[in-house]
Amino acid sequence: MEQNLLLTYLLLTPIIGSVLVLFLKKEQKQLIRLFGLAVSLVAFVVSLVVYFEFNQANPQFQFIHQVIWIKSLNISYHVGVDGISLLLVLLTTFLTPLTLLSSWKAIEKNLKMFTFSMLFLEVGMLGVFISLDLFLFYIFWEAMLIPMYFIIGIWGGERRIYAAVKFFIFTMFGSLLMLVAIIWLAVYASTTLGYFTTNLIELYKVGPTIPHQIQTWMFGAFFLSFAIKVPLFPLHTWLPDAHVEAPTAGSVILAGVLLKMGTYGFVRFCLPLFPQSSVQFAPIISVVAVIGIIYGALVSMAQTDMKKLVAYSSVSHLGFVVLGIFAMTVESIQGAVIQMINHGLSTGALFLLVGVLYERTHRRDIAFYGGIAKLVPLYSTVLMIATLSSIGLPGLNGFVGEFLILIGSFKSSVLNSWWFTIFAATGVIFAAVYMLWMYQRVVFGEVKNEALKHELTDMNLREMIVIVPIFIFIVWIGVYPNMFLKLTEASTQSILQQVGTFTGNLLK
């Protein structure tokens, strides 16, 4: 098979970068910052090359690079992308430089270690999205926990240790189950294929042939691991704590990319590997997803801390994504994938903007603010745009995803009931309530605290450079989403075809 090294270069960029950072002198802070930014920008450029070389019409994995790693077990370094993973790769390489730039002033302590962690994290995230070998995937999946643990634990807020440990234990618990399932799957492959393998493409043929009862268990193990990561209600309680304690950069990456690893897992592994179980459990999972949409929104409404509010809103938004995936229509899955990107952009922007305020006043409680429209007009406008994107205003990105998910789940033959969509759509109302309410309390009215008048300054150039690229995509996806939808169309159809072949479900 022809080897393509492009993805390997992409992966190597942050690997080499993170190692090189360690050789820089601790005191040369500016150099470390610039170096980190440069490395992440190079990675972004490489990922753009991947995008331009990518053939949208081809539903297969592309840019495959496979090197035998553990020969006796048929484990290999095996990477490749399809339209879905490519979009998430782009999201990762796009957000990483922005987060580094956003922490220019915020991170002083252990800067070298921080830059190392962020680049290392990028390696983990990219690895997860491009791995085509379950063993390799699992390594990246776990490896990425380590830098995140440190980012929360070292540069976080007051209760950072509690939050970091909670984050670690929750996700670790899930992934151990997944490891067991991976090994079992590879062993089972040796009975049907005649050899032990963790090659995903080969396992796609094996998974659906697993006897029903065992498949249920396997599906459950994978599902639980991903569900914790998403996080799906009621496994979400690690998220608000992690977000509140994490530094801005950590929150952005956490919400922007890390959570998507869970939903990506559903699409890449659960559906094609265990189609029968996926179809069987789709209604139950969708019920949970819809509960999550409403629950997340309602709890958001009650929050007094801006960051926590945004964190709970993620629970709600990701409920939409999960619903879209398990509705298993082309519309809903394409909507779910684009919504993963959208959530990364709009929630990322919201966390960045909360961070902007926090950097100046060290307060996140909504009650402290009020009337800042007068003091920081530019910031208020920018926050309004992020808010509108988050509540799914047509013309901005959020609408496209939500609309496709809802319209797809409405006609879903797997769910076969309108109630999912009807209840999910109430989330659209609640989103407007909690977001606009927060906006109103923070921005409008009379200036509430005299301290604000001294402490608050408007967005500076660096902060605008961070936020404007995000906004460009927020508008772009809102007005011309087709460019992004085209990318995932063929891959989505091929996944649904896999599901349809083995379950005999009529999937349009």
Partner 1 sequence: MINLIYLTVLLPLLGFLINGLIGRKIKNEKVIGIIGSGTVGIAFVIIILAFIETLALPVENRSNTVELFTWISAAGLNIKFAYLVDQLSLTMSLIVTGVGFLIHVYSIGYMHGDKGFWRFFAYLNLFIFAMMNLVLGDNFVVLFLGWEGVGLCSYLLIGFWYDRKFEKGTTSQAAKKAFVVNRIGDFGFLLGMFLIYFTFDSLNFKEVFSRAESFPVAELTFGLIALFLFIGAAGKSAQIPLFVWLPDAMAGPTPVSALIHAATMVTAGVYMVSRASIIFASAPAVMMIVAVIGLVTAIMAASIGLVQNDIKKVLAYSTISQLGYMFLAAGVGAFSASIFHLMTHAFFKALLFLGAGSVIHGMHEEQNIQKYGGLKKYMPKTYLTFFIATLAISGVPGLSGFFSKDEILWSAYANGGFVFWLIGAITAMLTAFYMFRLVSLTFYSKERFDHHHVHPHESPAVMTVPLMILAFLSVVGGYIGIPKVFSGEHGNLFEGWLEPIYAPALAKLATFGSHSHLEEILLMAVSVAAALSAIYFSLYVYTKKLQIAENVSIKFKGIYYLLWNKYFVDEVYEAAVVEPIQKGSEKLLWKIFDVKIIDGLANGVASLVESGSGIIRKIQTGITQFYAVVMMAGIAFALLWLILSL
Nearest alpha-carbon partner for 119 in 77, 147, 140, 156: 147
Q: What tokens does 52 get?
A: 């331009």
Q: Is the peptide bond before 394 cis (omega within 30 degrees of 0)?
A: no
Using the minimum distance from each CB to partner 1, give the nearer residue, 146 or 432.
432
**Amino acid at position 288, single letter:** V
Joined together, the tokens standing for residue 30 give 């500016």
Question: Could you tell me the smallest distance in angstroms from the CB atom of residue 363 to partner 1?
Answer: 21
Taking the least distance from each CB to partner 1, the nearer of 147 and 370 is 370
Q: Which is nearer to partner 1, 86 or 333 (CB)?
A: 333
Residue pair 332/408 in contact (Cβ under 8 Å)? The answer is yes
Smallest distance, Å, CB 114 to partner 1?
Answer: 28
Q: How far is the CB of 158 from partner 1 (least distance, A)?
A: 17
Nearer to partner 1 by C-beta: 283 or 445? 445
> Cβ distance 338 to 484 under 8 Å?
yes
Is the CB of residue 87 less than 8 Å from the CB of residue 488? yes
CA dist 276 and 216 (Å) reads: 9
Cβ-based nearer residue to partner 1, 43 or 299 = 299
Encoded tokens for 312: 């709970």
Over 381-417, what HEC string results? HHHHHHHHHHCCCECEHHHHHHHHHHHHHHCCCCCCC
Degrees (nearest 5) of the Cα angle 230, 269, 335? 60
Q: Which residue has the tokens 């789940």?
A: 409
Kindly state the smallest distance separating residue 373's Cβ from partner 1, in Å.
Answer: 6
CB of 319 to partner 1, least distance (A): 14
Residue 363 or 374 having the CB closest to partner 1? 374
- Sites of contact with partner 1 (CB under 8 A): 166, 169-170, 234, 236-238, 295, 298-299, 301-303, 329-331, 334-335, 371, 373-374, 377, 388, 393-395, 399-400, 403-404, 406-408, 410-411, 418, 421-422, 425-426, 428-429, 432-433, 436-437, 440, 443-446, 479-482, 485, 489, 508
Judge contact between 290 and 424, C-beta under 8 A.
Answer: yes
Closer Cβ to partner 1, 163 or 252, answer by number = 163
- Quote the least distance from Cβ 195 to partner 1, whole Å: 37
Burial of 5 (0-12, 13-18, 19+ CB in 10 A): exposed
Q: How far is the CB of 54 from partner 1 (least distance, A)?
A: 19
